[in-house]
Amino acid sequence: MKISNELFKLKSLRRSKESIQKIQETLPSILGYDFEISNHDTKWFSTDDKVKTLGQIETPQWAAELISTLCIKSGSNRILDPCFGDGIFLKAAYNRVRQISTEKIPNIFGVELDPIKFVNGLYLFLKNAENKISLEQNFFCGDIFDFKDTKFHAVILNPPFMRQEKLGLAGEEFLSKES
């Protein structure tokens, strides 16, 4: 798969409606399928204050590796990173599966709300992955709460750095749902 370097230069750009539009225009040709950014207002993405608006926190690689080691017990596990950001947990999960299994294609899924992080995280993850992973079926740019009926063996992510009250109504409904 050839990925345009122009798209990945967006990481250094200020988040704006123009950068979101560029992603929407470019991704279908890269991924090979129609791409749609979640229905959230693009104003969510037009700020550089990622911590305040989206709760984005960078994770050290050692922490992602530790959490993956503790959570992933089998190479056949369905693994989810619900807010993959720069792909640190995707990479750690991939490394863990390769360490404990001979599975040809790890069953790793990722969701990211921020389209700029989505593009950058996917690029960083896929450039290091040895085996082909289904982009169409495994990675989504949208809200994790849209996937509440999907089951996984392991969900790997940072410990919460935001108060649950800041998640809004969708978060409250999701957290109150019985497993």
Q: Where are the domains of the chain?
A: 5-50+59-159
What gap in Å lies between CA 10 and CA 24, rounded to an integer?
Answer: 12
* Averaged pLDDT of the chain: 70
- DSSP string for residues in 101-117: ---SS--EEEEESSHHH
What are the E-state strand segments in 58-177?
79-81, 108-112, 139-141, 154-155
The predicted model gives 137-143 an average pLDDT of 81
pLDDT of residue 160: 62
What are the E-state strand segments in the chain? 79-81, 108-112, 139-141, 154-155
Task: Give me the count of residues in the chain.
Answer: 179
9 falls in which pLDDT band (50, 70, 90)?
very low
Locate 97 and state its tokens: 């599966």
Residue 100 has pLDDT above 90, yes or no: yes
Rounded Cα distance, 46 and 179, in Å: 35
pLDDT grade, residue 12 (50/70/90)? very low
Q: Which of 33-37, 56-60, 85-89 has the lowest mean pLDDT?
A: 33-37
The answer on pLDDT for 72 being more than 90 is yes
CATH number of 5-50+59-159: 3.40.50
Q: Which of 38-42, 59-63, 146-150 reaches the highest mean pLDDT? A: 59-63
User: What band does 137 get if pLDDT is binned at 50, 70 and 90?
Assistant: confident
